[in-house]
Amino acid sequence: MSQFLLRNDHSPELEPFVHILEFAQKKNNSINLNSFTDACSSYLRIYYILEGKFDWVINNKSYTLYPNDLGVILPGQHLCAEKGYLDIGSLYWLHLQLPLPEKTNKQSPDGWSQISSQELVSVKKILFLDSTPVLTRIPDAGSIFSSLRNELFNQEIGYVTRVNQLLDELLILLTRKFSQQQNLQRDFPQTFLKLEETLRKDLSHHWTVEEMAALVGLGTTAFSDKVKKFTGFSPMNYLINIRISEAIRLLKKPSVQVTDIALDTGFYSSQHFATTFKKLTGLTPSQFRKNNI
């Protein structure tokens, strides 16, 4: 089978998979002008190059993709061919409904994924970090796309479970490669700054060491060692210090309620916040506010 196009709205192969909006393999043998123009979608788009060289513009930046490269286009991002048409070559693509990560929703999008709810939060956070959208030399992804094709067309017993497993494998592969890519692109101090920036953007999330380690592409042991060496704190104490520093900033704003500050900075309750705050500063949040406004 040299090429195919499955779409959720008219392909019976995708009936059990409402989350797969489109899955295709295309072998492009000729140039058709205006065949790959600027497009934006509300879903996750993953492209895998089999043959050829593709010059694309992703979110206003130019990239060249070669065989075994992956392009990952996030919801809301634009994708078009630099020349205005799809280059000659062949590729797979998969359009997947994967909602953006939400602070309070730790559940699987619609129950199809077997990734644990906690790990799925990590996967989505890393996947949607808006990092470089191209991963190079990922042949394992080609094997996953090929297996997806075989399962969908052969439909042997257990194929629904197997297809969902392959989607999980693909998401985990992407997450790990993005983490490694981010780590390779920066030395650790720079990585550390980026990590802190990411944590501060979502302090209400109850970050785990595993999640923080994944954000910088390290195992938990290596990550803990680096954080300890870099800051003198364990990862969780490092995170608590960030929470407290943000709480101090917010306490200086009289219009913000202490309870809201506690929850927004990731503490489980006002009491938890007050106890931790006094332990680190010697003052209760109310005393601190009274002394600093």
Asked whether the predicted pLDDT for residue 253 surpasses 80, the reply is yes
Least-confidence region, from 3-17, 46-60, 135-149, 186-200:
186-200
Can you give the pLDDT at residue 218?
Answer: 80
Average pLDDT (268-275) is 92
Q: Is the dihedral of CA 131, 133, 136, 141 positive or negative?
A: positive
CA pair distance 65, 87, nearest whole angstrom: 11
Based on the fold, state whether residues 162 and 211 are members of the same structural domain: no
pLDDT of 41 strictly over 50: yes
- What is the pLDDT of the chain when averaged over all its residues? 86
Is pLDDT above 90 for 282? no
Residue after which a domain boundary falls, among 134, 154, 182? 182
Both 64 and 203 in a single domain?
no
Residue 126 sits in the same domain as residue 264: no
CATH number of the domain within which 19 lies: 2.60.120.10
Q: How is residue 38 written in tokens?
A: 């600027």
Shared domain check, 204 and 157: no
Is the per-residue pLDDT at 109 higher than 70?
Answer: no
* 37 and 10 part of one domain: yes
Domain co-membership, 130 together with 8: yes
Same domain, 228 and 95: no
100 pLDDT band, cuts 50/70/90, is low
Q: Say what the pLDDT of residue 182 is.
A: 64
Burial class (CB in 10 A: 0-12, 13-18, 19+), 271: exposed
In the predicted model, what is the mean pLDDT of residues 190-216? 86
Is 271 found in the same domain as 131? no
The encoded tokens of residue 20 equal 């797969």
160-176 CB burial, b ≥16 within 10 A, e <16: eebbbbbbbbbbebbbe
**Is residue 232 a contact partner of residue 241, using CB atoms and an 8 Å limit?**
no
The residue behind tokens 């943000």 is 246
Confidence of residue 45 (pLDDT cuts 50, 70, 90): very high
- Given 182, 200, 223, which residue is the final one in a domain? 182
Provide the pLDDT confidence category of residue 30 given band limits of 50, 70 and 90: confident
CB 81 within 8 A of CB 55: yes
- What does the pLDDT average to over 219-244? 87
On whether the CB atoms of residues 253 and 217 are closer than 8 A, the answer is no
pLDDT confidence of residue 184: 54
* Same-domain status, 160 and 25: yes
Question: Among 52-61, 100-109, 207-216, 259-268, where is mean pLDDT lowest?
Answer: 100-109
The predicted pLDDT at position 290 comes to: 86
Q: Does 157 have pLDDT greater than 50? A: yes
Same domain, 173 and 191: no
Q: What is the mean pLDDT of residues 227-237?
A: 84
If one compares 2 and 149, the residue with the highest pLDDT of the two is 149
- Does 28 share its domain with 75? yes
As for how many domains the chain has, the answer is 2
**Which range marks the domain in which residue 71 is found?**
4-101+110-182
Mean pLDDT, rounded, for 234-257: 91
User: CATH no. for residue 219?
Assistant: 1.10.10.60
In the listed set 144, 162, 182, which residue is the last one of a domain according to the structure? 182
Q: Render the burial of 2-38: b for 16+ CB within 10 Å, e for the rest.
A: eeeebebeebebbeebebbbbbbbbebeeeeeeebee
Q: Please write down the HEC assignment for all residues of 248-264.
A: HHHHCCCCCCHHHHHHH
DSSP 35: S
Report pLDDT for 104.
Answer: 47
User: Are 192 and 269 part of one and the same domain?
Assistant: yes
Tell me, what's the pLDDT at 124?
81
- Picking from 95-99, 181-185, 187-191, which range would have the lowest pLDDT averaged per residue? 181-185
